[in-house]
Amino acid sequence: MRRFRAFTLIELLVVVAIIGLMLGIMMPSLKEVRRLSKRTVCQKNLDQIGVAIHAYLLNHKDTFPYACRLRSWELREAQKENRKPLPSLPEVLHREIGGGKNVFACPADRNTMSLPGEVPADDVIPTDRYFDNEGTSYEWESRLNGGIVGFKLARVYVTSDDRTKRYELAALYKNLMWMMFDFEAFHGGTKVRGSQNILYTDLHVDSDKWSDKKEVGKELVGVTPSPSP
């Protein structure tokens, strides 16, 4: 009968070292695949939200909805001003989305910073995700509230150079108006600050780098303000 020779300690250590080396090589690639997967899901979410906004416009005579940027902030302001708070966009688009609230949850959503002067700390229960506090991972461009689209969405532009938002607009769409975007730069590698996914008014979704300078145009072309509700 043939006898099998047992592994020596040195041979076992060599095998363990090889396995460790292979894992070390593979882990960064796996992390990158996971990161790209989350960004893709996020972009598909914004695609669906864009379709829902377009359906809303068709059902409401080309008039944008009234919705708040931050639910936590809006609840406080409404209480101070003794008025009814504006709904969040997920609430407004409930019929168009079909009740699928998960479309407003970015898989990379993480709350890593506070926004001085914007979010009152005493009104917010600290969590790891914006979705838990705000009901969405995406910020609505509230300057569009109640605006009436005078022509195609793709012709809604920003005309002012005074921009104060948390991203740089891609060169090709430098003046094209945005409708929704990640609250933070959720999508980034280990060596970069990250990027945000942005839904533009022509309904395309793009990814843009985080910018320290927050600038936003004040004048819109293609949207006529309507009286507040």
Note the pLDDT tens digit of each residue in 65-116.
Answer: 889 888 888 888 888 989 899 899 999 998 888 767 789 999 888 766 544 4
pTM listed for this prediction: 0.67
Separation of alpha carbons 205 and 185, rounded Å: 15
What are the start-end ranges of the E strands in 59-172? 138-140, 148-149, 157-158, 164-167
Separation of alpha carbons 57 and 65, rounded Å: 8
Structure tokens at 193: 């600050």
Q: Is residue 7 part of a domain?
A: no
Q: Is residue 39 part of a domain?
A: no
pLDDT beneath 70: ranges in the chain: 1-7, 26-30, 99, 111-127, 148-176, 188-193, 209-229
Q: Is residue 125 part of a domain?
A: yes
DSSP 5: P
Beta carbons within 10 angstroms of residue 225's beta carbon: 12
Q: What is the pLDDT of residue 48?
A: 92
Separation of alpha carbons 187 and 208, rounded Å: 10
**Which helix (H) or strand (E) element contains residue 15?**
helix 9-59
Residue type, 125: I
Q: List Cα–Cα distances, 110 to 125, 167, 187, in angstroms.
A: 14, 17, 10
Half-sphere exposure of 32 (CA within 13 A, CB side): 7
Q: Is residue 4 part of a domain?
A: no
Q: Is residue 70 part of a domain?
A: yes
Q: Is residue 170 part of a domain?
A: yes
For residue 115, the enclosing domain spans 49-224
Q: Is residue 205 part of a domain?
A: yes
How many domains are contained in the chain? 1
Q: Is residue 13 part of a domain?
A: no
Give the chain's end-to-end CA distance (angstroms, integer).
91
Half-sphere exposure of 18 (CA within 13 A, CB side): 6
